[in-house]
């Protein structure tokens, strides 16, 4: 319950105090009576007053002195005071009252209406002042609450930012560890695969029975399939972490499509399938984009079509959808006469680790990542991918991609030779390789090419052999004990600076590090060329010709 305003009345005569209260009883106020100046000062310490009505003539301490002492205290410095007195000389008492600090002066006998009117003014001011103070206090409280809330929000945001930064740091660390793991996994799997595929290729060149040839072909096919699955997993991981960047180079689209046709025609013929390629007349020959990733999508879709079609045909069609200024949008359609895909199967097709039917993975194998990778690559090329299919009516896989128009590049002079090794003489080669099986693969392939090979089991041995001998080429593995290939290459480059006769001898990185960017990193470390494991004899021949 809200308290009434308090009014202090000071007079040494009780009847005067009672008279004042009767005159002012129209107001909802509480009166505090005092009969002396000292008592009045004591009351001001105990209560908050809206107004003081003070008599002037009092024993011990008159009204003037009482008010002067009030004005010296902070609490009553601005308290409105009305003097009342039977003595009234306008020139003297009014001036002294104002100098003392009173706001008004009323002579006795008091006219009730005048007193009530003046008291009402000061009570209204007090009420308004009190209301304003309440509003200010309320708003201050609200502002304090808002400030407190803001402080909490700022603290929470700071905490959230710290958590976000920690999460980001953890994610970066996890991503780094994942990349290291993938690099190691790629290296560790490719190293034995190089032995399997390499020795299989060598075995094919020996005298084998028909049955043995069949067995070797199965080993070779299995090794190639395993490499394909590994590549899919690595590609998916790189796409997922945003580490794939598309190239922007001019290439002959028709030539790339012809390469795809030659690559997959034999697979189609093995299943008695007709394989056709149709390129619309509006499709340019030269465009700007990433030919490797474009071929990856096309080969994946055509290979799937051949794999899942038992009879009939597979066709690849390319049409020009639109051209705006220098930008062109192409559509690629891969149409087959296979069994078709159900609506439920189509919903699962482009999801990672998913195939239309569980029986597909049992029958045909695969990682279940090919279509998901193709979808992501198409989107990176500002295109889309989809399928139109019905059970029993075959399938029409399509994708779109954006390219820029390109111009024909000047043709490079090529070495024309039936056998690429005929373009180079018999070489003396230093092979740095710690894996015994991979040593054997490289030595046999190089011996077939009539080259002489010295073997170093680690980088340190490679440096010593290079220091003591004159070689035509160095084949350098990267991950080796004692000293790795990077450090060995650096020291060999220093030897070349000291022994001018050895300057310019090419160093070829021969490594199972086959992730995107590995080639570029190794070339920056001083390598002259790069070949990834597993490699074919033809790829080895090609890199030897290239560096010489």
- The alpha-helical segments, DSSP class H, found in 308-458 are 343-348, 358-364, 370-380, 436-448
Q: What would the 3-class secondary structure string for 37-99 be?
A: HHHHHHHHHHCCCCEEEEECCCCCCCHHHHHHHHHCCCCCCCCCEEEEECCCCHHHHHHHHHH
Per-residue buried b or exposed e for 112-136, using 16+ beta carbons within 10 Å of the residue's own CB: eeebbebbeebbeebeeeeeeeeee
Domain ranges of the chain: 6-110, 246-405, 420-547
The H-or-E segment that residue 469 falls in is: none
Q: Do 6-110 and 246-405 show the same overall fold?
A: no
pLDDT at 294: 94
Q: What does the alpha-carbon distance between residue 437 and residue 459 come to, in Å, rounded to a whole number?
A: 17
517 upstream amide cis, omega within 30 of 0: no
pLDDT of residue 128: 84
Supply the pLDDT for residue 418: 46
Distances (CA, A) of 311 to 268, 269, 355, 389, 545: 10, 11, 21, 17, 43
C-beta of residue 271 within 8 angstroms of C-beta of residue 337: no
Q: How long is the chain?
A: 548
CB 5 within 8 A of CB 123: yes
Residue 395, phi-psi category: left (phi > 0), alpha (psi -120 to 50), beta (remainder): beta
Judge: domain 6-110, CATH 3.40.50.2300: yes
Positions of the chain with pLDDT lower than 50, given as ranges? 353, 356-367, 415-422
Superfamily name and number for 420-547: Response regulator (3.40.50.2300)
Q: Look at strands 274-279 and 286-289 and give their pairing.
A: unpaired
Tokens standing for residue 212:
């043995």
What is the per-residue pLDDT for 91? 62
Which pLDDT value is given to residue 421?
A: 45
CATH number corresponding to 246-405 = 3.30.565.10
Runs of H (alpha helix) within 455-548: 459-468, 485-498, 518-524, 537-547
Which residue matches tokens 């945001």? 157
CB contact at 8 A, 548 and 424:
yes
Predicted local confidence at residue 124, as pLDDT: 85
């Amino acid at each position: 319950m809200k308290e009434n305003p308090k009014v202090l009345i000071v007079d040494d005569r009780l009847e005067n105090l009672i008279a004042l209260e009767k005159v002012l009883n129209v107001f909802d106020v509480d009166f505090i009576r005092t009969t002396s100046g000292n008592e009045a000062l004591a009351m001001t310490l105990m209560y908050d007053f809206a107004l003081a009505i003070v008599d002037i003539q009092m024993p011990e301490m008159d009204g003037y002195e009482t008010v002067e002492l009030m004005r010296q205290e902070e609490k009553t410095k601005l308290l409105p005071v009305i003097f009342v007195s039977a003595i009234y000389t306008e020139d003297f008492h009014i001036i002294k009252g104002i100098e003392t600090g009173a706001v008004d002066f009323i002579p006795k006998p008091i006219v009730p209406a005048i007193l009530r009117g003046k008291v009402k003014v000061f009570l209204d001011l007090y009420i308004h002042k009190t209301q304003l103070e309440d509003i200010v206090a309320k708003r201050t409280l609200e502002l304090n609450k808002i400030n407190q809330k803001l402080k909490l929000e700022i603290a929470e945001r700071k905490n959230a930012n710290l958590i976000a930064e920690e999460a980001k740091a953890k994610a970066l660390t996890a991503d780094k560890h994942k990349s290291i793991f993938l690099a190691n996994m790629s290296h560790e799997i490719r190293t034995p695969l190089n032995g399997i595929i390499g020795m299989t290729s060598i075995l094919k060149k020996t005298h084998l029975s028909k049955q043995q040839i069949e067995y070797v072909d199965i080993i070779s096919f299995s090794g190639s399939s395993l490499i394909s699955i590994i590549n899919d997993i690595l590609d998916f991981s790189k796409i997922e972490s945003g580490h794939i960047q598309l190239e922007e180079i001019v290439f002959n689209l028709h030539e790339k499509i012809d390469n795809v046709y030659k690559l997959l025609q034999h697979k189609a013929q093995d299943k008695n399938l007709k394989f056709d390629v149709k390129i619309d007349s509006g499709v340019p020959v030269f465009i700007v984009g990433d030919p490797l990733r474009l071929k990856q999508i096309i080969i994946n879709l055509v290979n799937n079509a051949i794999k899942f079609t038992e009879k009939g045909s597979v066709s690849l069609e390319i049409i020009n959808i639109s051209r705006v200024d220098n930008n062109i949008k192409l559509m690629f359609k891969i149409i087959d006469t296979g069994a078709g895909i159900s609506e439920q199967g189509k919903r699962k097709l482009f999801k990672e680790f998913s195939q239309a039917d569980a029986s597909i993975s049992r029958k045909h194998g695969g990682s279940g990542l090919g279509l998901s990778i193709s979808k992501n690559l198409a989107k990176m090329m500002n295109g889309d991918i989809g399928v139109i299919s019905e059970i029993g009516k075959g399938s029409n896989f399509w994708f779109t991609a954006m390219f820029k128009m390109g111009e024909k590049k000047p043709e490079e002079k090529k070495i024309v030779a039936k056998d690429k090794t005929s373009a180079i003489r018999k070489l003396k080669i230093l092979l740095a390789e710690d894996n015994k099986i991979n040593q054997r693969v490289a030595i046999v392939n190089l011996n077939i090419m009539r080259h002489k090979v010295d073997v170093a089991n680690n980088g340190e041995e490679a440096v010593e052999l290079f220091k003591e001998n004159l070689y035509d080429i160095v084949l350098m593995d990267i991950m080796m004990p004692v000293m790795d290939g990077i450090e060995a290459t650096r020291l060999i480059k220093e030897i070349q600076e000291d022994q001018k006769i050895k300057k310019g001898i090419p160093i070829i990185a021969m490594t199972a590090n086959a992730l995107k960017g590995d080639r570029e990193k190794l070339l920056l470390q001083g390598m002259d060329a790069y070949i990834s494991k597993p490699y074919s004899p033809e790829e080895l021949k090609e890199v030897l010709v290239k560096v010489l």
